[in-house]
Amino acid sequence: MIPLALFVVLGPVAGFLLLAGLPVLRRSGLAAGVVSSAVALATLVAAIVLLVGVEPGAAPVIAQIDWLPHQGEAFARLGVRVDGTSAVMGAVVALIASAVQVYSLGYMASEGRPSIGRYFAWQSLFLFSMQTLVFAPDLLQAFLGWELVGLCSYLLIGFYYQKPSAAKAAVKAFWVTKFADMGLLTGLVLMRWQVGSFAWEAVQPGWTATAIALLVFLGAMGKSAQFPLHVWLPDAMEGPTPVSALLHAATMVAAGVYLVVRTWPLFEASGVALHVVAWVGAITVVVAGLTAMVQDDIKKVLAYSTCSQLGYMVAALGAGSPVAGLFHLTNHAFFKALLFLAAGAAIHAVHSNSIWEMGGLWRSLKGASLLFLVGAAALIGLPGFSGFFSKDFALEALAESHLWGPFALALGGVALTGFYVGRVVVVAFFRRPAKERGRLHTPLVMTVPMTVLAVLAVVGGLLGGPIAGWLGGAYHFHVTPEGLTATVLALGGLGLATWIYGYEGGRRLVVLAAPAGAFIRSGLLDRFYETAWRQGLLVVAHAAGWFDRYVVDGVMNLVAWSVLEGSERTRRIQTGRIPDYVLAVVVAFVVLAAWGAVSGMSGCGSTP
Amino acid sequence: MTALLPLLLPLLVLGVILLVLVADLLLPATDRRAVGILAAAGVAGTLAASLAISPSGEAFGGSYVMDELTLYLDRVFLAAAVLGILAAIDHADRHFPTRQGEYYLLLLASLAGMLVLAGARDLVLLVVAFETAGMPLYLLAALPKSPDGRSTEAALKYYFVGAASTAIALYGLSLLYGAAGTTRIAALGAAPVSPLLFVGVMATFAGMAFKIGLVPFHFWVPDTYEGASTPFVAFLSVAPKAAGYAALLRILHGGLLDHHALWLPPLLVLSAASMILGNVIAIPQGNVKRLLAGSGIAQVGTMLLAFAVGTAEGVAMLLFYLAAYVFTNMGAFVVQSVMGEHAASDDMQAYRGLARTAPGLALAMLLFLLSLAGIPFMAGFWAKLQVFIAVWHAHQAALVILAAVLAVMALFYYLRVARAMYIEPPPEGAVAPVVARPTRVALIACVLGTVGLGVFPEPFVRSALDAAALFLGQ
Amino acid sequence: MTPPLTWFLLLSAALFSVGTYGLLTRRNAIAILLSIEIMANAVNINLVAFSRCLGDLAGQVFTLFAISLTVAEVVIGLAIVVLLYRDRDDVRADLADRMRG
Amino acid sequence: MTAWLSLVVWAPFAAALVLLLLPARASNAVRLVAVTGAGTSLAGAIAVALSYDRALGGVQFREYQPLVPSLGIAYDLGVDGWGVCLILLTGLIIFAGTWATWTLKERPKEYYILLLALVTGVFGVFSSLDLFLFFLFYELAVLPMYLLIGIWGSSKAIPEQGPFAFAYRSLHVGRKEYAAMKLTLMLLLGSALILAGILTLYWAGDGRSFSMEDLAKASISTSTQRWLFPALWLGFGTLAGVFPFHTWSPDGHASAPTATSMLHAGVLMKLGAYGVIRVGMVLLPEGAQAWAWVVGVVAVINVVYGALSAMRQTDLKYIVAYSSVSHMGVVMLGAATLTVDGWNGAVFQMFAHGIMTGLLFALVGLVYEKAHDREIFRMGGFGKVMPGIAVAFTLAALSSLGMPGSSGFVAEFLVFLGAFRSHPWWAVAGILGAWITAVYVLRAVRAIFWGPGPDVDRFPGLSDARGPEWVALYLLGLCIALFGLWPGLILDAIDSTTLVHLGRIVGPIVAGGTP
Amino acid sequence: MNVALFVVVAAVLLAASISVVAGRELVRSVLWLAVALASTAVLFVLLHAEFIAAVQILLYTGGIITLMLFGVMLTARITGVRIAVGSAGRVRGGLVAVGVFATLAWGILASQGTIVAHEPLDPESTTRLLGAAFLTDYLLPMEVLSLLLLAVMVGAIVLARRRDPS
């Protein structure tokens, strides 16, 4: 069991070291890609074998080595922990990563040879970091993986570092997530002193549990792009599409949810934390949904859709059901990755991200369009597709926990999802193209992973039972009132969108809604962050820098200057004229004589 | 004959004086350089003798004594004299060849005065020796008769301040004699404490402080150093100060140590003033000689600190400081005499890029400057450190901190010279200054002294401690 | 009965301060030398008075040495003044202020 | 047992002496001798680090020889866990430094002589147990800086603004001489304070010997400790860049040539911090406890204030210099917590920050040498032309912002753990400081290496690192990663020594006790 | 009787000194100095120090005054007009002089009792004792003094001569 887990975690890092260490391999172009994909696929196989080998409910198997000493023996250890949750998540991550890497062989073929090497090196590093996070035996190692994942996201988003916008996006992503990580780090440190160890199960009821839970959730909000820290996700689309598919759809953004699932005892111990989580999730669903409606760039739409779906998972967790969260996470991973890859194929073919320019892809790019539609169906949650089951399960959990506010928002979200997915599908695939295009073709190496994902997107729903088993919960599909209303709403949204964008009548309505659209598109929050950065931090930094150079340093210089000036001025007492010199001698004599007389008086008569 | 054994060293110097006189007469007017070499050899021989002999007790009914203190001070004077003469040989031969015989005569006369002064236990002998040490220096300052009249002006200032101080000193001594009833210094302690006695003490101190160059009697120092010939200033900046301290040691420590509490405060004030004003004078100076003058005043202030605390340790550290000061300060002035000669001006600009044109000379000057600043591995560091320890031990912590801070401030102007030498590039076509053989010998001796005392101070510290302990009878 | 010691000391102190006055105010170098002479003279009076009062000979020996020292000093003073005269054609003491600062 | 420590300490000095004899023209021979000197001490340091017995702990490799018996001064070398770690750091930095100045053309001989003399002082300080020898080496370490910056430094015009602008004109602020003079005077003022402190310690321990062990045993009255500790703290703190006395560091490092600023920021500032902890805290337990919170508060100011000031700078060298001030704040913060984690973190941060700043200054030197410009916003797109330097710079930047997997994270994590225990809001401020560091460091990386390709006409001779320059990059880069992944290599030696020293302050700590 | 004599001589002495110091013409000042020195000699006689008085007359009045006159002539232009002797900073000088006198007088008056008077030596033998003292106790100062005078003479001659013999 353990060697398998070790291979799953350490395999990719070996790949990374190979690529980083051997410049010849790195510059060999697609060969590097093949090596890295091979390693990824190997870890996928190992992960599946591992998953199968884990009996539900069995005690977790942990293997650790000492890492940081404290008073003679180690308080911090690194290692792997294999149990239901980690096996599931490990398998999902390995699957998506291999799919994306294989897909990238096609997508990145046109790049320069060294940059391909660089791309796959960072892909392997990402896989390693993610697996470290997933198989982490305690919160500390999770934090290590967590930060490395943030680093890989920074590197991969900034893959096209020549583009200034990509550079800005990469740094923005890093800063926002690092800002949220401050919370996680504080939580970690608080845990060390209050609870004594970083283990997942370590819980100390009372205010510490709530505090740590909230701090961990703050970290999760950053990485999983929850409102108000979601601003970096849309910009992250600057990275290559496979990266968006891997990181910003399936794995990285899901890390936050996974972390909450992992530290579930903490959240369970504090009701307050759960409420906060539920509300944040719900709000994110609606906000992201609304913004997604007005985006023109297909990748931005999918990005906001990811935000929204993450909102669902978080809301499910808030409702007290980690199984729902994890189940929706796995399904979402499949269909969202599929959507991104399909969109990637479309962009690859059309060479533009805007959905208006895509138009009428249905005819010219049959394969990719079909796969995209499958993904879209799963996203909307049409019955039969995986999305339906997990979203329904989440809504059910919300209803049971009687969190009516978040439940209402979630339902609203379903409608919004239906609308924006419908809009994209109609505009991008079924409208008449602006200019005619012949039949386009997507290479086999790209379609194969997409088809695998499509299959999973459909079949995913059936995984509910086994996942629940691994997590120790229970799930069996049954039709629920929430499920039905959700489906109706979804179809309603879809219909509205097709009506508006498909037929003439709808176009007038679009003009009416334009101002609202403009308002949402303007991104109130972005401007808030911009001003916070421009007016807040930079001004404070400017003041500190100025203060240091011209006040603290100024005082130092003033002292030096006054000494110099003083000595320059006292130089003048050296007049060079003899009478003055003699005067000094005589005056000094008088003073000393007087002093002598006085001291003589005081000691008078006291012969020793 | 053995009664005169304690006076061996002054007599030897007298012998050298006679030799110089005779040589000066016999040698043709054009080639008087040999006189200098002869004088140097003679004094060097006396120095060797001083290292060989051990203290040999009193003479003339106790008015003169050759004890450890006298021997230590004599060695300091002789070392200063040897270096002074060596440095002057080339300079004198070039600037005032016809008068160089008299130059050495006057210098040796002053040296003889100092040697006697070191062991004087009688007021009369002390004052005569003090004046014998002092007066020839006025003449030496004026001897070059430099065409621009600067040496005359320097001598004039030195003379007038000196004359006023001598009158004050004599007045003080007369009061001391009156109060104590005898001219034996040892009996001074027994005199009843009266205002008259202490007016006398203070007057004497004021009269002698002029020669040490303490503030406020220091006004002549910068001008005289600037005007007089640099090799002479090398001697002037060390030997008379040591002579001044020798006299004060004999009077205040030898005689009036029991009333230490009464004469301590004025001295502390003067030492603080000297340290502060010395640095203030030196900081803005462009002229290296005036800079070294200022630094000398600051150093003397630090020495007074050790002198004032009145403990055996304080006196010992003063003695060690003087020894270190001989090599360091004279070394610096010898380098300045070479540079002044080379660039015909005493300005700091002459040093520009010296590190590249004459690395050896630059390194020597850097060593002397660092030692003056009190940087470790140099004699100056141990000197300052030991003084700080002694003064700290005598519960004058505030003054030690003041001295330490001023020492750091002093580094500013020492490093300005170092900067000129090492950092600024040499002017085009700059050629290395030519260093005559005797001056080179003097320089090497100074460097060895400065670094030797810096790296291995133990023996010197040991002998200073013994001298002080025996002198104060502890 | 000779006057008490204090009178002599006071007289010598008066002479000393008159000499000091001359030292400080006189511009002519030789006049300054004269003032120094007066101060030295005051010292001698002091010494002899003490010798007389204490009945100790040392005072008088001291006086003799003091006199000879002052003579030597005046000789040096005149030599330097002659040099000053040869350089500046005038012997005013405060002329010599080219070196300052 | 061979005198390992003497070898490590005096190898550079011997090399410097050999250099004295070499003619200035033989530049290759000069470089070779310098590198062998640095190499021997590095090899010695590694040997010491490896053969240091972790379990035994305490002081090892002891060498004792009386020097000035009358004052109780002895040539007493010995290394405990901390010493091993810091000597290894010094060895690494000097070795990298000598390689980094391979391309120096102007008077390399004198440069190497001064550099090697300086590093001898540093080695001496870290390995001396006699307080006076400690001070002598301390002075030797501080003095050559004046000439190093003065001769080979570079000036940068500082605009005269602010309330004391008139003083700036007369002092030529920004010129290299100004920086050299300011640095030397401030550090020596600090050393004057230290000397006063050492002397008081000497007497408090009834004036028999200067050895730290005796002084540690001597019971010093609480009232003396209460005023003596701040004196030592500010004396050593000046060199460690403690808040009000840190202003020499930005000017000094920005004006210094590459290897000098590598050595100075990388190692010399640790001298100050080591002094505060080893001499200040260990020998004055009550004093340390009384002033711990002040040291902590100032350290927090250092961290946040330093980071903010760094953000304002647009000159690359000033950014790195201010970041050193901020990171030294983290060290002092760790020390102020008086907890095991805090001290472990503080010493490890000295090590980690030393390597990271060494690498950063080496890279800054390379960039400056090729682009002859230090304004980050005028550069851009260098990554395309110099990928090697870009990767190394990013690695060092990540270590400075505390990215796990780099040694920076381990150090800051331990310090934050310790800080949280004693004053929670210190830890939070420190973490905020780390985030601000992330902001300005990555902004610099983006401004220099990312963005559209370099405009060739403004920066003609851009190229990646060549031949000898790679040594510094690889050596230090590997160390950052190596000690980031396996901190245990050094950390358990540090931990064993922390137990001993901290035991003096907060009472005996039993191994493996509660956190 | 002696007291009256003392007062007279003291008055003459003081008047002469003041006119030396405050006189307008240099040569007259020198002459007044001669008067002052002479009156000091009388004082010495009053104090039964006849030998000292003789030396005073011989050395001071004879030696110094002639030296001063030569000095004046050497350094004044030949025209023989009255050599004006200006003085500067009178107020400053006066104040300090008064300060000096006040301090010294205060010192003297405050320690009236401390100096105990012994019975004075008989005047006849002082000269003989003086001679003996110079050759026994104070021989060393005598020798050192002779060295000093030699050096001063040589130095003064070398400085003052117009051309160096070469």
What residues pair up with A70 in beta bridges, in sequence order? Answer: A73
Q: Are D369 and D406 in contact (CB under 8 A)?
A: no
pLDDT score of A434:
65
The backbone torsions φ and ψ at residue D65, rounded to the nearest 5 degrees and listed phi first, read: -160, 120
Calculate helix-pair angle for E65-75, C29-54, nearest 10 degrees. 170
E83 → chain C, closest CA residue: C28
Measured CA to CA in angstroms, residue D106 lies from A313, D70, D112, D465 at distances of 65, 45, 11, 20
Asked if residue D162 belongs to a domain, the reply is no
For B213-343, where are the alpha helices, taking DSSP H only? 220-227, 230-236, 239-248, 260-282, 288-308, 312-343
B172 → chain A, closest CA residue: A593
DSSP state, residue B120? B
Q: Are B315 and B463 in contact (CB under 8 A)?
A: no
Query: Number of structural domains, chain D?
Result: 1
CB count in 10 Å sphere of residue D478: 12
Query: Can you give the residue range of the structural domain that contains C76?
Result: 5-90
Q: Are A109 and A30 in contact (CB under 8 A)?
A: yes
Q: Are A68 and D498 in contact (CB under 8 A)?
A: no
pLDDT score of B462:
87
Q: What ipTM was estimated for this complex?
A: 0.88
- Provide CB contacts within 8 A for D38, sequence distance 6+: D12, D15, D91, D94, D95, D97, D98, D116, D119
Among A150-154, D201-205, D363-367, which stretch is predicted with the lowest mean pLDDT?
D201-205
**Assigned token pair, A173:** 């992503």
State how far the Cα of E79 lies from the Cα of D422, in Å rounded to an integer. 95
Average pLDDT over residues D335-348: 92
What residues pair up with C26 in beta bridges, in sequence order? Answer: E87
- List the Cα angle A374/A377/A379 in 5-degree steps: 110
pLDDT score of C44:
94
- The shortest CB-CB distance from A571 to any of C23, C99, C101 is to C101
Query: Can you give the residue range of the structural domain that contains D199?
Result: 4-157+169-506
The nearest CA of chain A is from the CA of B214 a distance in Å of 11
Please answer yes or no on whether E107 and B199 come within 8 Å at the CB atom.
Answer: yes
Provide the whole-model pTM. 0.87
pLDDT score of E85:
65
pLDDT confidence tier of residue E84, bands split at 50, 70 and 90: low
State how far the Cα of E95 lies from the Cα of D420, in Å rounded to an integer. 72
DSSP state, residue A433? P
Asked if residue D396 belongs to a domain, the reply is yes
Please answer yes or no on whether B163 and C84 come within 8 Å at the CB atom.
Answer: no
Q: Reply yes or no on whether the pLDDT at B93 is more than 50.
A: yes
pLDDT score of D510:
64
DSSP string spanning C16-49?
HHHHHHHHHHB-BHHHHHHHHHHHHHHHHHHHHH
Asked if residue C95 belongs to a domain, the reply is no
**Assigned token pair, A225:** 């792009």
pLDDT score of E82:
53
pLDDT, averaged across chain B: 91
Buried b (16+ CB within 10 A) or exposed e, B380-394: bbbbbbbbbbbbbbb
Cβ–Cβ contact E77 with A under 8 A: no
Q: Reply yes or no on whether the pLDDT at B432 is more than 70.
A: yes
Buried b (16+ CB within 10 A) or exposed e, A540-562: ebeebbebbbbebbbebbbebbe
Q: Do chains E and A touch (3 or more CB pairs under 8 A)?
A: yes
Please answer yes or no on whether E155 and B199 come within 8 Å at the CB atom.
Answer: no
For residue C61, the domain's CATH number is: 1.10.287.3510
Among B100-114, D345-359, D363-377, E121-135, which stretch is predicted with the lowest mean pLDDT?
E121-135
pLDDT tens for each residue of D146-184: 889 988 888 877 778 878 888 888 788 778 888 888 899
Among A363-372, A501-510, B436-445, which stretch is predicted with the lowest mean pLDDT?
A501-510
**Assigned token pair, B81:** 């004299």
CB count in 10 Å sphere of residue A415: 18
Buried b (16+ CB within 10 A) or exposed e, D208-232: ebbbbebbeebebeeebbeebbbbb
Nearest alpha carbon to residue A348 among A244, A446, A451 = A446
pLDDT confidence tier of residue D332, bands split at 50, 70 and 90: very high
Higher pLDDT, C5 or D332: D332
Handedness of CA D257, D262, D263, D265 (dihedral sign): positive
pLDDT confidence tier of residue A359, bands split at 50, 70 and 90: confident
D140 → chain B, closest CA residue: B376
Q: Which residue carries 């000397």 as its tokens?
A: D195
State how far the Cα of B418 lies from the Cα of B416, in Å rounded to an integer. 5
For chain E, where are the alpha helices, taking DSSP H only? 2-22, 26-46, 50-55, 65-75, 90-110, 123-135, 139-160
pLDDT score of B474:
53
Q: Are A246 and A100 in contact (CB under 8 A)?
A: yes
Q: Are D225 and D284 in contact (CB under 8 A)?
A: yes
The nearest CA of chain A is from the CA of C27 a distance in Å of 8
Average pLDDT over residues D26-37: 89
- The shortest CB-CB distance from D515 to any of A192, A545, A552 is to A192
Nearest alpha carbon to residue D144 among D111, D108, D107, D191 = D111
pLDDT score of D2:
66
State how far the Cα of B109 lies from the Cα of B134, in Å rounded to an integer. 10
**Assigned token pair, E93:** 């000088």
pLDDT tens for each residue of C67-95: 999 999 999 999 999 888 888 877 777 77
- Provide CB contacts within 8 A for D93, sequence distance 6+: D262, D263, D266, D267, D354, D355, D358, D476
pLDDT tens for each residue of C18-66: 999 999 988 888 889 999 999 999 999 999 999 988 888 889 999 999 9
pLDDT tens for each residue of B383-424: 888 888 888 878 888 888 888 889 888 988 998 899 899 888
pLDDT score of D306:
92
Average pLDDT over residues D463-471: 85
pLDDT tens for each residue of B161-195: 999 999 999 999 999 999 888 888 888 888 888 88
* Helices H / strands E in chain A, number of each: 28, 2
Q: Which residue carries 């700078």 as its tokens?
A: D313
Higher pLDDT, B130 or A79: B130
Three-state secondary structure call for residue A249: helix
Cβ–Cβ contact A586 with B under 8 A: yes
For D337-468, where are the alpha helices, taking DSSP H only? 340-371, 382-385, 387-400, 407-422, 424-449
- List the Cα angle A433/A439/A440 in 5-degree steps: 95
Backbone φ/ψ region at D405: left (φ over 0), alpha (ψ -120 to 50), beta: left
Average pLDDT over residues D186-211: 84
Count of alpha carbons within 13 Å of B468, Cβ hemisphere only? 21
What residues pair up with A78 in beta bridges, in sequence order? Answer: A65
Asked if residue C43 belongs to a domain, the reply is yes
Please answer yes or no on whether A548 and D381 come within 8 Å at the CB atom.
Answer: no
State how far the Cα of D204 lies from the Cα of A200, in Å rounded to an integer. 52
pLDDT tens for each residue of B131-159: 999 999 999 999 998 888 899 999 999 99
Q: Reply yes or no on whether the pLDDT at B57 is more than 90.
A: no
Please answer yes or no on whether E96 and A586 come within 8 Å at the CB atom.
Answer: yes
Q: Are A56 and A469 in contact (CB under 8 A)?
A: yes
Nearest alpha carbon to residue B14 among B44, B38, B43, B41 = B43
Cβ–Cβ contact C8 with B under 8 A: no
The nearest CA of chain B is from the CA of E97 a distance in Å of 13
Three-state secondary structure call for residue A374: helix
Q: Reply yes or no on whether the pLDDT at B30 is more than 90.
A: no
pLDDT tens for each residue of B99-131: 889 999 999 999 999 999 999 999 999 999 999
The nearest CA of chain C is from the CA of B55 a distance in Å of 28
Average pLDDT over residues D186-203: 87
pLDDT confidence tier of residue A574, bands split at 50, 70 and 90: confident
pLDDT score of D513:
47
Residues of chain D with Cβ-Cβ distance to A66 below 8 Å are 488
Measured CA to CA in angstroms, residue B99 lies from A141, B231, E147 at distances of 90, 15, 19
pLDDT confidence tier of residue B272, bands split at 50, 70 and 90: very high
Nearest alpha carbon to residue E32 among E73, E61, E9 = E61
In chain B, the percentage of residues whose pLDDT exceeds 90 is 59
Higher pLDDT, A343 or C100: A343
Average pLDDT over residues A6-24: 89
Cβ–Cβ contact E107 with A under 8 A: yes
Cβ–Cβ contact C100 with B under 8 A: yes
pLDDT score of A506:
60
**Assigned token pair, D444:** 């610099």
pLDDT confidence tier of residue B82, bands split at 50, 70 and 90: very high
Asked if residue D515 belongs to a domain, the reply is no
pLDDT, averaged across chain A: 86
Average pLDDT over residues B460-474: 85
Q: Reply yes or no on whether the pLDDT at D515 is more than 50.
A: no
DSSP string spanning B54-77?
---EEETTTTEEE-HHHHHHHHHH
Nearest alpha carbon to residue A417 among A394, A445, A384, A387 = A387
Could you tell me which chains touch chain C, where touching means 3 or more CB pairs under 8 A?
A, B, E
**Assigned token pair, B451:** 């670094």
Among A25-29, B325-329, D90-94, which stretch is predicted with the lowest mean pLDDT?
A25-29
State how far the Cα of A117 lies from the Cα of A472, in Å rounded to an integer. 42
Measured CA to CA in angstroms, residue B462 lies from B330, B332, B455, B456, D365 at distances of 23, 26, 15, 11, 51
Count of alpha carbons within 13 Å of D9, Cβ hemisphere only? 27
Single-letter code of the amino acid located at E80: G
Residues of chain A with Cβ-Cβ distance to B206 below 8 Å are 585, 588-589, 592-593
- List the Cα angle B164/B166/B171 in 5-degree steps: 100
Backbone φ/ψ region at C55: left (φ over 0), alpha (ψ -120 to 50), beta: left
State how far the Cα of D177 lies from the Cα of D264, in Å rounded to an integer. 17
The nearest CA of chain C is from the CA of E166 a distance in Å of 20
Q: Name the residue ranges covered by the structural domains of chain B.
A: 2-472
